[in-house]
Amino acid sequence: MAQGVAQRVIELVVEVLDVNALIVRIDLNAVLARVELNGLLGRVDLNQVIDRVDLNQVIDRVDLNQVIDRVDLNQVIDRVDMNKLMARVDINEIAGRLDIEALVKNTDLGALLASSSSTIVTEAVDLGRSHAVSMDDTLTRWVSRLRRNHTGRAGPPELLDAQEEP
């Protein structure tokens, strides 16, 4: 019964608690300065933590702008070992999930890419090469037809093998 009462009291306290007011009263920089972030990050299974938290509910209750205003992000970033953090992230997997073509087509990255290459010359060269390759393919098809489905080799095996390596 005592446990039930305690649980009920905790629930009431949590409901009454104004999280924002609480955060205002805490010197977050001082707290962060006392935490060994790298050690902490190394010991925490972030994926498991994230799975168990209803982030939307938490975010709804927190005034993020106020929190961000009070935190010296540069100081936090300075203390994080980025190399160690990046070593734990599978960049290839992230890159594999990106639609690079859509990204290039719809963002300023495309503008950057287009302006960084001397466009008119590059466009003309690309176009010329495309036509040359199309002619190559047409000739190869004709020869293949004349020689009754004779198929050529794609390229030097070592070059092609190297292409298949990750």
Partner 1 sequence: MTAPADVGLPEPMPRDGGTPALPAPAPLSVPQHLRGHYAGFASRFIAFVFDCVLSIAVFEIVLAAASFASSVLTGTSIHWNRGNLWVVLAFFAWEFLYYAYFWTASGKTPGMQLVGVQVVGRDGSHVGTRRGLVRTLAFPLSFLLLGLGFVGILLGRDHRALHDSIADTAVVYTWDARAARLRFLAREGNGRR
Residues that bind partner 1 (CB under 8 A): 100-101, 104-106, 109-111, 113-114, 117, 119, 122-123, 125-130, 132-137, 139-140, 143, 147, 150-160, 162-164
Report the nearest approach of partner 1 to the CB of residue 134 (Å): 6
Residues written for the chain: 166
Measured between alpha carbons, how far is 160 from 154 in angstroms, rounded to an integer? 8
Nearer to partner 1, 64 or 159 (CB): 159
Nearer to partner 1, 76 or 104 (CB): 104
Report the nearest approach of partner 1 to the CB of residue 93 (Å): 15
Report the nearest approach of partner 1 to the CB of residue 157 (Å): 7
Furthest C-alpha separation in the chain: 94
* Token pair listed for 104: 């290039």
The residue with tokens 């004709």 is: 142
Nearer to partner 1, 74 or 116 (CB): 116
Measured between alpha carbons, how far is 56 from 45 in angstroms, rounded to an integer? 20
